[in-house]
Amino acid sequence: MKKSTIKMQKLDAKHHLHPFSNFGEFSKSKSVHVIEKSAGVYIYNSEGQKILDAMSGLWCVNMGYGQQSLIDAANKQMHSIPFYNSFFGTTHPPAVELSKLLSDISPNHINQVFFTSGGSEANDTMIRMVRHFWSIQDKPEKQIIISRKNAYHGSTMASASLGGMKNMHKQGGLPIPGIVHISQPDFFGACVDNGGQIDSLEFGLKIAKELEYKIDELGEDKVAAFIAEPIQGAGGVIIPPESYWPEINRICNERDILLVVDEVICGFGRTGEWFGSDYYKIKPDLMPIAKGLSSGYLPIGGLMVSDRVSDVLSTYDDDFEHGFTYSGHPTCAAVAVANIRLMQQTNIVDTVKTNTAPYLASKWKSLSEHPLVGESRILGTLGALEIVENKENYKRFKEGSKVTGICRDYCFKNGIVMRAVGDKMIICPPLVINNSEIDELVEKAWKCLDQTAKEIS
Ligand code: PXG
Protein backbone atom coordinates (compact mmCIF):
# COMPACT_ATOMS: atom_id res chain seq x y z
CA MET A 1 0.00 0.00 0.00
CA LYS A 2 1.26 3.51 -0.79
CA LYS A 3 2.73 5.54 2.07
CA SER A 4 0.33 8.39 1.32
CA THR A 5 -2.65 6.03 1.70
CA ILE A 6 -1.43 4.75 5.05
CA LYS A 7 -0.87 8.29 6.27
CA MET A 8 -4.37 9.34 5.23
CA GLN A 9 -5.91 6.29 6.90
CA LYS A 10 -4.09 6.99 10.16
CA LEU A 11 -5.12 10.65 10.23
CA ASP A 12 -8.67 9.78 9.35
CA ALA A 13 -8.85 7.21 12.14
CA LYS A 14 -7.51 9.74 14.60
CA HIS A 15 -9.59 12.82 13.75
CA HIS A 16 -12.58 12.03 11.58
CA LEU A 17 -15.87 10.79 13.06
CA HIS A 18 -17.79 9.08 10.27
CA PRO A 19 -21.58 9.00 9.92
CA PHE A 20 -23.32 5.73 10.85
CA SER A 21 -20.05 4.19 12.08
CA ASN A 22 -18.76 2.43 15.17
CA PHE A 23 -16.38 5.13 16.41
CA GLY A 24 -14.26 2.82 18.58
CA GLU A 25 -13.82 0.16 15.92
CA PHE A 26 -13.24 2.69 13.17
CA SER A 27 -10.48 4.51 15.03
CA LYS A 28 -8.64 1.23 15.54
CA SER A 29 -9.08 -0.35 12.11
CA LYS A 30 -7.19 2.22 9.98
CA SER A 31 -8.38 0.51 6.82
CA VAL A 32 -10.73 3.15 5.48
CA HIS A 33 -11.04 3.33 1.67
CA VAL A 34 -9.63 6.62 0.46
CA ILE A 35 -11.55 7.73 -2.63
CA GLU A 36 -9.61 10.25 -4.67
CA LYS A 37 -10.85 10.57 -8.20
CA SER A 38 -13.85 9.90 -10.39
CA ALA A 39 -15.06 9.80 -13.98
CA GLY A 40 -18.41 8.74 -15.43
CA VAL A 41 -19.72 5.81 -13.36
CA TYR A 42 -16.30 5.05 -11.82
CA ILE A 43 -14.46 6.14 -8.70
CA TYR A 44 -10.73 5.56 -8.06
CA ASN A 45 -9.17 4.91 -4.68
CA SER A 46 -5.80 6.20 -3.51
CA GLU A 47 -4.16 2.98 -4.72
CA GLY A 48 -5.38 3.69 -8.24
CA GLN A 49 -8.03 0.92 -8.21
CA LYS A 50 -10.93 1.61 -10.58
CA ILE A 51 -14.30 0.89 -8.95
CA LEU A 52 -17.74 0.87 -10.59
CA ASP A 53 -19.92 2.99 -8.32
CA ALA A 54 -23.20 1.11 -8.39
CA MET A 55 -24.54 3.32 -5.53
CA SER A 56 -24.10 6.73 -7.22
CA GLY A 57 -22.09 8.00 -4.25
CA LEU A 58 -24.97 7.76 -1.80
CA TRP A 59 -27.99 7.51 -4.15
CA CYS A 60 -27.20 10.93 -5.57
CA VAL A 61 -24.67 11.20 -8.42
CA ASN A 62 -27.44 10.66 -10.98
CA MET A 63 -25.60 12.26 -13.91
CA GLY A 64 -22.31 10.54 -13.09
CA TYR A 65 -18.94 12.05 -12.23
CA GLY A 66 -16.94 14.69 -14.10
CA GLN A 67 -19.82 16.58 -15.75
CA GLN A 68 -18.11 19.72 -17.03
CA SER A 69 -21.23 21.90 -17.15
CA LEU A 70 -21.82 21.38 -13.43
CA ILE A 71 -18.21 22.15 -12.59
CA ASP A 72 -18.31 25.29 -14.77
CA ALA A 73 -21.60 26.45 -13.20
CA ALA A 74 -20.05 26.30 -9.71
CA ASN A 75 -16.92 28.10 -10.87
CA LYS A 76 -18.87 30.86 -12.64
CA GLN A 77 -21.22 31.41 -9.70
CA MET A 78 -18.34 31.52 -7.22
CA HIS A 79 -16.90 34.40 -9.22
CA SER A 80 -20.11 36.44 -9.41
CA ILE A 81 -21.59 35.90 -5.95
CA PRO A 82 -20.63 32.70 -4.08
CA PHE A 83 -23.08 33.29 -1.26
CA TYR A 84 -25.91 35.52 -0.40
CA ASN A 85 -28.97 34.75 1.71
CA SER A 86 -32.59 34.62 0.65
CA PHE A 87 -33.96 36.08 3.88
CA PHE A 88 -35.22 39.67 4.38
CA GLY A 89 -36.49 40.34 0.88
CA THR A 90 -33.51 39.32 -1.25
CA THR A 91 -32.99 36.69 -3.91
CA HIS A 92 -30.42 35.83 -6.60
CA PRO A 93 -30.61 34.57 -10.19
CA PRO A 94 -29.73 30.87 -9.56
CA ALA A 95 -32.44 30.48 -6.88
CA VAL A 96 -35.01 32.14 -9.15
CA GLU A 97 -34.05 30.01 -12.13
CA LEU A 98 -34.01 26.80 -10.10
CA SER A 99 -37.44 27.45 -8.56
CA LYS A 100 -38.89 27.97 -12.04
CA LEU A 101 -37.19 24.85 -13.45
CA LEU A 102 -38.47 22.74 -10.53
CA SER A 103 -41.98 24.03 -11.08
CA ASP A 104 -41.66 23.06 -14.79
CA ILE A 105 -40.49 19.48 -14.21
CA SER A 106 -42.67 18.62 -11.20
CA PRO A 107 -46.35 17.61 -11.37
CA ASN A 108 -48.58 20.48 -12.61
CA HIS A 109 -50.15 21.24 -9.25
CA ILE A 110 -46.73 21.83 -7.63
CA ASN A 111 -45.26 25.26 -8.31
CA GLN A 112 -43.26 26.42 -5.29
CA VAL A 113 -40.18 25.33 -3.40
CA PHE A 114 -38.63 26.09 0.01
CA PHE A 115 -34.87 25.44 -0.24
CA THR A 116 -32.75 23.56 2.30
CA SER A 117 -29.25 22.05 2.33
CA GLY A 118 -30.43 18.45 2.11
CA GLY A 119 -33.20 15.94 2.68
CA SER A 120 -33.23 15.95 6.48
CA GLU A 121 -33.79 19.69 6.61
CA ALA A 122 -36.47 19.32 3.93
CA ASN A 123 -38.33 16.87 6.15
CA ASP A 124 -37.93 19.05 9.26
CA THR A 125 -39.33 21.93 7.21
CA MET A 126 -42.19 19.69 6.16
CA ILE A 127 -43.27 18.96 9.75
CA ARG A 128 -43.31 22.63 10.69
CA MET A 129 -45.09 23.61 7.47
CA VAL A 130 -47.75 20.89 7.73
CA ARG A 131 -48.60 21.78 11.33
CA HIS A 132 -48.64 25.49 10.44
CA PHE A 133 -50.94 24.70 7.48
CA TRP A 134 -53.57 23.17 9.79
CA SER A 135 -53.09 25.71 12.50
CA ILE A 136 -53.83 28.57 10.06
CA GLN A 137 -57.13 26.83 9.33
CA ASP A 138 -58.05 26.73 13.01
CA LYS A 139 -57.16 23.08 13.34
CA PRO A 140 -54.10 23.22 15.60
CA GLU A 141 -54.93 19.79 16.99
CA LYS A 142 -54.13 18.22 13.59
CA GLN A 143 -50.49 17.45 14.52
CA ILE A 144 -49.75 13.76 14.07
CA ILE A 145 -47.70 12.59 11.12
CA ILE A 146 -48.07 8.95 10.11
CA SER A 147 -44.96 7.36 8.67
CA ARG A 148 -43.77 3.80 8.07
CA LYS A 149 -41.53 1.30 9.77
CA ASN A 150 -38.08 1.03 8.26
CA ALA A 151 -38.51 4.30 6.36
CA TYR A 152 -35.53 6.65 6.10
CA HIS A 153 -36.25 10.38 6.08
CA GLY A 154 -33.01 11.78 7.49
CA SER A 155 -30.86 12.09 10.59
CA THR A 156 -31.98 15.23 12.43
CA MET A 157 -34.16 14.79 15.53
CA ALA A 158 -37.36 15.30 13.56
CA SER A 159 -36.46 13.51 10.33
CA ALA A 160 -35.00 10.51 12.18
CA SER A 161 -38.25 10.38 14.15
CA LEU A 162 -40.19 10.33 10.89
CA GLY A 163 -37.94 7.50 9.79
CA GLY A 164 -38.84 4.07 11.07
CA MET A 165 -35.36 2.75 11.85
CA LYS A 166 -35.40 1.08 15.26
CA ASN A 167 -31.64 1.38 15.74
CA MET A 168 -31.81 5.12 15.20
CA HIS A 169 -34.72 5.52 17.63
CA LYS A 170 -32.70 3.77 20.34
CA GLN A 171 -30.28 6.70 20.49
CA GLY A 172 -31.09 10.25 21.55
CA GLY A 173 -34.64 9.79 22.81
CA LEU A 174 -36.49 9.30 19.54
CA PRO A 175 -39.07 9.47 18.13
CA ILE A 176 -40.19 12.95 19.13
CA PRO A 177 -43.90 13.14 20.05
CA GLY A 178 -46.60 13.24 17.39
CA ILE A 179 -45.16 10.71 14.95
CA VAL A 180 -46.53 7.18 14.55
CA HIS A 181 -45.48 4.35 12.24
CA ILE A 182 -47.44 1.76 10.27
CA SER A 183 -46.14 -1.25 8.29
CA GLN A 184 -44.01 -1.03 5.16
CA PRO A 185 -45.09 -2.87 1.99
CA ASP A 186 -42.24 -5.36 2.28
CA PHE A 187 -43.54 -8.21 0.12
CA PHE A 188 -40.47 -10.43 0.28
CA GLY A 189 -40.28 -9.97 4.07
CA ALA A 190 -43.89 -11.16 4.29
CA CYS A 191 -43.03 -14.25 2.19
CA VAL A 192 -40.17 -14.98 4.60
CA ASP A 193 -42.50 -14.63 7.58
CA ASN A 194 -44.93 -16.96 5.84
CA GLY A 195 -42.32 -19.49 4.75
CA GLY A 196 -43.68 -19.27 1.17
CA GLN A 197 -45.15 -17.09 -1.55
CA ILE A 198 -48.22 -15.03 -0.72
CA ASP A 199 -50.45 -13.01 -3.06
CA SER A 200 -48.68 -9.70 -3.72
CA LEU A 201 -51.75 -7.65 -4.70
CA GLU A 202 -53.69 -8.74 -1.62
CA PHE A 203 -50.66 -8.00 0.52
CA GLY A 204 -50.25 -4.49 -0.99
CA LEU A 205 -53.91 -3.68 -0.27
CA LYS A 206 -53.72 -5.02 3.25
CA ILE A 207 -50.69 -2.92 4.14
CA ALA A 208 -52.16 0.23 2.53
CA LYS A 209 -55.36 -0.19 4.52
CA GLU A 210 -53.34 0.08 7.73
CA LEU A 211 -53.22 3.81 6.96
CA GLU A 212 -57.02 3.99 6.97
CA TYR A 213 -57.26 2.05 10.24
CA LYS A 214 -54.57 4.20 11.85
CA ILE A 215 -56.36 7.42 10.85
CA ASP A 216 -59.60 6.04 12.32
CA GLU A 217 -57.85 4.96 15.49
CA LEU A 218 -56.17 8.33 16.04
CA GLY A 219 -59.06 10.43 14.72
CA GLU A 220 -58.96 12.32 11.43
CA ASP A 221 -59.07 15.57 13.40
CA LYS A 222 -55.69 14.70 14.98
CA VAL A 223 -53.80 13.54 11.88
CA ALA A 224 -51.90 16.13 9.83
CA ALA A 225 -50.17 14.07 7.16
CA PHE A 226 -48.86 10.76 5.88
CA ILE A 227 -45.27 10.55 4.59
CA ALA A 228 -43.73 7.82 2.45
CA GLU A 229 -41.00 7.23 -0.10
CA PRO A 230 -42.43 5.91 -3.41
CA ILE A 231 -39.86 3.10 -3.12
CA GLN A 232 -38.12 2.76 0.24
CA GLY A 233 -34.42 3.26 -0.47
CA ALA A 234 -32.21 2.94 2.62
CA GLY A 235 -34.74 0.44 4.01
CA GLY A 236 -33.59 -1.98 1.30
CA VAL A 237 -35.18 -0.93 -2.01
CA ILE A 238 -38.68 -1.99 -1.00
CA ILE A 239 -40.73 -1.86 -4.21
CA PRO A 240 -44.41 -1.90 -3.24
CA PRO A 241 -46.90 -4.25 -4.92
CA GLU A 242 -48.90 -2.55 -7.72
CA SER A 243 -52.00 -2.39 -5.54
CA TYR A 244 -50.33 -0.32 -2.81
CA TRP A 245 -50.10 3.25 -4.12
CA PRO A 246 -53.57 3.44 -5.71
CA GLU A 247 -55.06 2.45 -2.36
CA ILE A 248 -52.92 4.99 -0.44
CA ASN A 249 -54.03 7.63 -2.96
CA ARG A 250 -57.67 6.70 -2.39
CA ILE A 251 -57.35 6.88 1.39
CA CYS A 252 -55.60 10.26 1.31
CA ASN A 253 -58.19 11.62 -1.14
CA GLU A 254 -61.05 10.55 1.08
CA ARG A 255 -59.50 11.80 4.32
CA ASP A 256 -58.59 15.31 5.22
CA ILE A 257 -54.84 14.74 5.61
CA LEU A 258 -51.85 15.85 3.56
CA LEU A 259 -49.84 13.38 1.49
CA VAL A 260 -46.08 13.90 1.64
CA VAL A 261 -44.08 11.96 -0.94
CA ASP A 262 -40.39 11.87 -0.06
CA GLU A 263 -38.64 12.10 -3.44
CA VAL A 264 -35.10 12.42 -2.05
CA ILE A 265 -34.06 9.13 -3.68
CA CYS A 266 -36.86 8.47 -6.21
CA GLY A 267 -36.76 11.96 -7.73
CA PHE A 268 -34.72 13.15 -10.70
CA GLY A 269 -35.08 10.24 -13.05
CA ARG A 270 -34.56 7.21 -10.82
CA THR A 271 -37.78 5.47 -11.89
CA GLY A 272 -37.59 6.50 -15.56
CA GLU A 273 -39.88 9.47 -14.78
CA TRP A 274 -38.87 12.80 -13.28
CA PHE A 275 -40.38 11.80 -9.94
CA GLY A 276 -41.51 8.58 -8.29
CA SER A 277 -44.88 10.32 -7.94
CA ASP A 278 -45.12 10.45 -11.76
CA TYR A 279 -44.32 6.75 -12.00
CA TYR A 280 -46.95 5.69 -9.45
CA LYS A 281 -49.45 8.44 -10.42
CA ILE A 282 -49.47 9.82 -6.88
CA LYS A 283 -50.72 13.36 -6.22
CA PRO A 284 -48.51 14.69 -3.42
CA ASP A 285 -49.31 17.80 -1.41
CA LEU A 286 -45.63 18.16 -0.48
CA MET A 287 -42.43 16.64 -1.93
CA PRO A 288 -39.09 16.73 -0.08
CA ILE A 289 -36.23 16.63 -2.61
CA ALA A 290 -32.39 16.54 -2.42
CA LYS A 291 -29.58 14.25 -3.70
CA GLY A 292 -30.19 13.96 -7.48
CA LEU A 293 -31.29 17.61 -7.56
CA SER A 294 -27.61 18.57 -7.95
CA SER A 295 -26.38 15.04 -8.73
CA GLY A 296 -24.75 15.40 -5.31
CA TYR A 297 -22.11 17.82 -6.64
CA LEU A 298 -23.07 20.37 -3.97
CA PRO A 299 -25.46 20.00 -1.02
CA ILE A 300 -28.94 21.25 -1.79
CA GLY A 301 -32.46 20.09 -1.03
CA GLY A 302 -35.91 21.52 -0.80
CA LEU A 303 -39.53 21.05 0.01
CA MET A 304 -41.78 21.32 -3.04
CA VAL A 305 -45.17 22.77 -2.19
CA SER A 306 -48.45 22.21 -4.02
CA ASP A 307 -50.95 24.96 -4.86
CA ARG A 308 -53.35 23.51 -2.27
CA VAL A 309 -50.81 24.11 0.50
CA SER A 310 -49.34 27.37 -0.76
CA ASP A 311 -52.80 28.90 -1.23
CA VAL A 312 -53.46 28.37 2.47
CA LEU A 313 -49.99 29.44 3.63
CA SER A 314 -50.26 32.72 1.74
CA THR A 315 -53.41 33.68 3.68
CA TYR A 316 -51.38 33.90 6.90
CA ASP A 317 -50.57 37.54 7.52
CA ASP A 318 -47.29 37.01 9.38
CA ASP A 319 -43.95 35.25 8.78
CA PHE A 320 -43.37 31.49 8.53
CA GLU A 321 -40.66 31.50 11.21
CA HIS A 322 -38.27 29.07 9.58
CA GLY A 323 -35.19 29.10 7.35
CA PHE A 324 -31.56 28.08 6.97
CA THR A 325 -28.47 30.18 6.24
CA TYR A 326 -27.96 28.12 3.11
CA SER A 327 -31.59 28.06 1.91
CA GLY A 328 -31.21 28.54 -1.85
CA HIS A 329 -27.40 28.87 -1.64
CA PRO A 330 -26.47 30.53 -4.97
CA THR A 331 -23.57 28.23 -5.88
CA CYS A 332 -25.49 25.07 -4.97
CA ALA A 333 -28.53 26.38 -6.85
CA ALA A 334 -26.41 27.20 -9.92
CA VAL A 335 -25.11 23.63 -9.97
CA ALA A 336 -28.64 22.24 -9.58
CA VAL A 337 -29.77 24.41 -12.52
CA ALA A 338 -26.89 23.08 -14.63
CA ASN A 339 -27.77 19.54 -13.57
CA ILE A 340 -31.44 19.81 -14.54
CA ARG A 341 -30.54 21.52 -17.83
CA LEU A 342 -28.10 18.70 -18.59
CA MET A 343 -30.81 16.16 -17.79
CA GLN A 344 -33.17 17.96 -20.18
CA GLN A 345 -30.59 18.38 -22.96
CA THR A 346 -29.51 14.74 -22.85
CA ASN A 347 -33.08 13.46 -22.49
CA ILE A 348 -31.77 11.18 -19.76
CA VAL A 349 -35.12 10.48 -18.09
CA ASP A 350 -36.47 9.06 -21.33
CA THR A 351 -33.27 7.07 -21.91
CA VAL A 352 -33.65 5.52 -18.47
CA LYS A 353 -37.25 4.58 -19.27
CA THR A 354 -36.70 3.20 -22.75
CA ASN A 355 -33.20 1.72 -22.54
CA THR A 356 -31.29 1.75 -19.25
CA ALA A 357 -34.04 0.46 -16.96
CA PRO A 358 -35.25 -2.36 -19.26
CA TYR A 359 -31.68 -3.49 -20.05
CA LEU A 360 -30.59 -3.31 -16.41
CA ALA A 361 -33.75 -5.17 -15.36
CA SER A 362 -33.15 -8.03 -17.80
CA LYS A 363 -29.59 -8.47 -16.56
CA TRP A 364 -30.30 -7.90 -12.86
CA LYS A 365 -33.16 -10.43 -12.90
CA SER A 366 -30.75 -13.10 -14.12
CA LEU A 367 -29.05 -12.91 -10.71
CA SER A 368 -32.10 -14.65 -9.23
CA GLU A 369 -30.60 -17.86 -10.65
CA HIS A 370 -27.77 -17.62 -8.15
CA PRO A 371 -28.15 -20.08 -5.22
CA LEU A 372 -27.84 -17.27 -2.65
CA VAL A 373 -30.53 -15.06 -4.22
CA GLY A 374 -34.13 -15.48 -3.06
CA GLU A 375 -35.39 -12.58 -5.14
CA SER A 376 -33.85 -10.05 -7.49
CA ARG A 377 -36.08 -7.01 -7.93
CA ILE A 378 -35.59 -3.76 -9.75
CA LEU A 379 -37.52 -0.67 -10.78
CA GLY A 380 -35.86 2.04 -12.85
CA THR A 381 -32.31 2.01 -11.57
CA LEU A 382 -33.11 0.90 -8.01
CA GLY A 383 -32.35 -2.78 -7.46
CA ALA A 384 -32.08 -5.30 -4.62
CA LEU A 385 -31.08 -8.91 -4.13
CA GLU A 386 -32.59 -10.81 -1.19
CA ILE A 387 -29.88 -13.10 0.15
CA VAL A 388 -31.25 -16.37 1.57
CA GLU A 389 -30.00 -19.67 2.90
CA ASN A 390 -32.75 -21.63 1.17
CA LYS A 391 -34.61 -20.27 -1.86
CA GLU A 392 -37.31 -22.93 -1.80
CA ASN A 393 -38.79 -21.98 1.57
CA TYR A 394 -37.62 -18.34 1.86
CA LYS A 395 -35.32 -19.18 4.74
CA ARG A 396 -32.94 -16.41 5.76
CA PHE A 397 -29.45 -16.88 7.18
CA LYS A 398 -29.22 -16.81 10.97
CA GLU A 399 -29.20 -13.31 12.44
CA GLY A 400 -25.65 -12.08 12.88
CA SER A 401 -24.23 -14.33 10.15
CA LYS A 402 -23.04 -11.21 8.24
CA VAL A 403 -23.34 -12.83 4.81
CA THR A 404 -24.13 -9.54 3.08
CA GLY A 405 -21.19 -7.89 4.89
CA ILE A 406 -18.92 -10.56 3.41
CA CYS A 407 -20.41 -9.95 -0.03
CA ARG A 408 -19.97 -6.18 0.32
CA ASP A 409 -16.27 -6.66 1.13
CA TYR A 410 -15.85 -8.82 -2.00
CA CYS A 411 -17.50 -6.03 -3.97
CA PHE A 412 -14.76 -3.59 -3.02
CA LYS A 413 -12.08 -6.17 -3.81
CA ASN A 414 -13.61 -6.81 -7.22
CA GLY A 415 -13.98 -3.14 -8.09
CA ILE A 416 -17.66 -2.47 -7.52
CA VAL A 417 -19.63 -0.61 -4.84
CA MET A 418 -22.88 -2.22 -3.75
CA ARG A 419 -24.59 -1.60 -0.40
CA ALA A 420 -25.41 -4.29 2.15
CA VAL A 421 -28.66 -3.56 4.01
CA GLY A 422 -29.63 -6.35 6.39
CA ASP A 423 -30.16 -9.41 4.19
CA LYS A 424 -30.13 -7.39 0.98
CA MET A 425 -27.51 -6.29 -1.52
CA ILE A 426 -28.68 -3.14 -3.23
CA ILE A 427 -27.75 -0.94 -6.18
CA CYS A 428 -28.60 2.51 -7.45
CA PRO A 429 -26.15 3.21 -10.29
CA PRO A 430 -25.85 6.58 -12.04
CA LEU A 431 -28.55 7.13 -14.67
CA VAL A 432 -25.82 7.60 -17.29
CA ILE A 433 -24.61 3.99 -16.98
CA ASN A 434 -24.37 2.38 -20.43
CA ASN A 435 -25.10 -1.19 -21.49
CA SER A 436 -21.53 -2.47 -21.35
CA GLU A 437 -21.13 -0.95 -17.87
CA ILE A 438 -24.36 -2.71 -16.88
CA ASP A 439 -22.85 -5.98 -18.15
CA GLU A 440 -19.79 -5.32 -16.00
CA LEU A 441 -21.96 -4.51 -12.97
CA VAL A 442 -23.93 -7.74 -13.21
CA GLU A 443 -20.89 -9.93 -13.99
CA LYS A 444 -19.11 -8.51 -10.93
CA ALA A 445 -22.20 -8.92 -8.75
CA TRP A 446 -22.37 -12.61 -9.76
CA LYS A 447 -18.69 -13.09 -9.01
CA CYS A 448 -19.04 -11.49 -5.55
CA LEU A 449 -22.02 -13.72 -4.78
CA ASP A 450 -20.01 -16.79 -5.86
CA GLN A 451 -17.07 -15.85 -3.66
CA THR A 452 -19.42 -15.21 -0.75
CA ALA A 453 -21.12 -18.58 -1.22
CA LYS A 454 -17.74 -20.29 -1.28
CA GLU A 455 -16.54 -18.52 1.87
CA ILE A 456 -19.61 -19.42 3.92
CA SER A 457 -19.91 -23.01 2.71
N1 PXG B 1 -35.25 11.16 2.62
C2 PXG B 1 -34.82 10.04 2.01
C3 PXG B 1 -35.81 9.18 1.28
C4 PXG B 1 -33.47 9.71 2.04
O5 PXG B 1 -33.05 8.58 1.44
C6 PXG B 1 -33.06 11.70 3.35
C7 PXG B 1 -34.41 11.99 3.26
C8 PXG B 1 -32.18 12.65 4.10
O9 PXG B 1 -31.38 13.36 3.23
P10 PXG B 1 -29.99 14.02 3.72
O11 PXG B 1 -29.60 14.83 2.53
O12 PXG B 1 -30.26 14.86 4.89
O13 PXG B 1 -29.05 12.89 4.04
C14 PXG B 1 -32.57 10.55 2.71
C15 PXG B 1 -31.09 10.25 2.78
C16 PXG B 1 -28.20 4.87 3.37
C17 PXG B 1 -28.35 6.35 3.45
O18 PXG B 1 -27.61 4.30 4.27
C19 PXG B 1 -29.42 6.97 2.85
C20 PXG B 1 -29.58 8.36 2.98
C21 PXG B 1 -28.63 9.10 3.66
C22 PXG B 1 -27.54 8.45 4.25
C23 PXG B 1 -27.39 7.07 4.16
O24 PXG B 1 -28.69 4.26 2.43
N25 PXG B 1 -30.71 8.94 2.44
Q: From 152, 266, 275, 294, give the residue whose CB has the most ligand 1 atoms within 8 Å, as the site to mutate.
A: 152
Which of 131, 139, 100, 123 has its CA nearest to residue 309?
Answer: 131
Please state which CATH number belongs to domain 68-346. 3.40.640.10
Q: Could you give the C-alpha distances from 3 to 7, 12, 28, 47, 343, in angstroms and in order?
A: 6, 14, 18, 10, 40
Question: Of all atoms in ligand 1, which is nearest to the CA of residue 154?
Answer: 8
CA 264 to ligand 1 centroid distance, Å = 7
CA 303 to ligand 1 centroid distance, Å = 15
pLDDT computed for residue 279 by the predictor: 98
Task: Convert 312-351 into a string of H (helix), E (strand) and C (coil).
Answer: HHCCCCCCCCCCCCCCCCHHHHHHHHHHHHHHHHHCHHHH
pLDDT computed for residue 82 by the predictor: 98
CA 60 to ligand 1 centroid distance, Å = 10
Residue 414: phi, psi to the nearest 5? -90, 5
CA 89 to ligand 1 centroid distance, Å = 31
Answer yes or no: is the C-beta of 148 below 6 A from any ligand 1 atom. no
Answer yes or no: is the C-beta of 263 below 6 A from any ligand 1 atom. no
CB neighbours (10 Å) of residue 365?
A: 15
Residue ranges of the chain that CATH labels 3.40.640.10: 68-346
pLDDT computed for residue 158 by the predictor: 98
Over residues 62-115, the pLDDT tens digits come to: 999 999 999 999 999 999 999 999 999 999 999 999 999 999 999 999 999 999
Q: From 265, 326, 417, give the residue whose CB has the most ligand 1 atoms within 8 Å, as the site to mutate.
A: 265
CB neighbours (10 Å) of residue 95?
A: 23
The architecture (CATH level 2) of 33-66+348-456 comes to: Alpha-Beta Complex (3.90)
Answer yes or no: is the C-beta of 262 below 6 A from any ligand 1 atom. yes
Answer yes or no: is the C-beta of 153 below 6 A from any ligand 1 atom. yes
pLDDT computed for residue 30 by the predictor: 76
Over residues 342-356, the pLDDT tens digits come to: 999 999 999 999 999
Residue ranges of the chain that CATH labels 3.90.1150.10: 33-66+348-456
Assign 180 to helix, strand or coil: strand
| Residue 447 to residue 300: CA distance in whole angstroms | 37
| Residue 234 to residue 152: CA distance in whole angstroms | 6
Residue 140 and residue 178 in contact, taking contact as beta carbons nearer than 8 Å:
no
CA 282 to ligand 1 centroid distance, Å = 21
Angle between helices 93-105 and 330-346 in degrees, nearest 10: 40
Answer yes or no: is the C-beta of 276 below 6 A from any ligand 1 atom. no
Q: Which residues of the chain have pLDDT under 70?
A: none
Answer yes or no: is the C-beta of 265 below 6 A from any ligand 1 atom. yes
Facing residues of 180 across strands? Answer: 146
CA 198 to ligand 1 centroid distance, Å = 31
pLDDT computed for residue 25 by the predictor: 86
The size of the chain, in residues, is: 457
Q: Could you give the C-alpha distances from 147 to 110, 385, 406, in angstroms and in order?
A: 22, 25, 32
